[in-house]
Amino acid sequence: MPRPKNPPELGESRGQAIKRLLANEKSLRPKGKLDAFNVELREYITLGHAEKIPWLKLKPHYYLPVHGVFKETSTTTKTRPVFDASAKTTSGYSLNDTLLPGPNLYPPLLDVIIRFRRFKVGMSADISKMFREVLLDPTERDLHRFILCQEDGSLVDCRMLSAETDVWSEALTIPSHPSAPHPSQIRRSVPSRSCPSNPPGFLCR
């Protein structure tokens, strides 16, 4: 992840992540949506996109608060866990505060419209769980911890193994050089069995 030379120090964040998770459960239970949220969050473990870890007070580390977003009109993912990388730690800084900002990764709408005029047939596609196909550097996975509620109701510490899209919602540029391709562009432009030159801080599945 692109960072300044002397990023601000992160404080404790585990307690806040637990409180936010319990508040989310309290909000979802009366709506009948808690089970759907927990199934989606546990999927990170079953698909190998995250792993359970023992509670170790390593430095630096950061716990991402998570809550559920529901979109009934969606045809693919009606329930989506969203991780908050802007949540402040006890030092007053968040994970986003320690990262360098970058350019807007969304193409201008005019460019998209003009591109559709180049060929006789216009096509659009979506890659399922695309960001989770980009592995995090092992040295930075403890900056992407979160709390998971297991089926027996107990809480367990976990950490991301791959880049979750909602973590990058505010400030992160991947990679840091403006002329380098974004991981989503790499996945679209190379065969699935080949591995491109890895952007800084990332590994290819």
Closest-CA residue to 166 (of 10, 40, 22): 40
CA gap 160, 47 in Å, rounded: 12
Residue 9, SS3? coil
Residues with Cβ < 8 Å from 98, sequence gap 6 or more?
Answer: 3, 4, 7, 8, 10
Question: pLDDT band for position 157 (50/70/90)?
Answer: very high
Closest-CA residue to 95 (of 139, 53, 145): 145
- pLDDT, tens digit (0-9, with 9 covering 90-100), for 4-57: 888 899 999 999 999 999 999 999 999 889 999 999 999 999 988 999 988 777
pLDDT the model gives residue 75: 65
CA gap 36, 32 in Å, rounded: 8
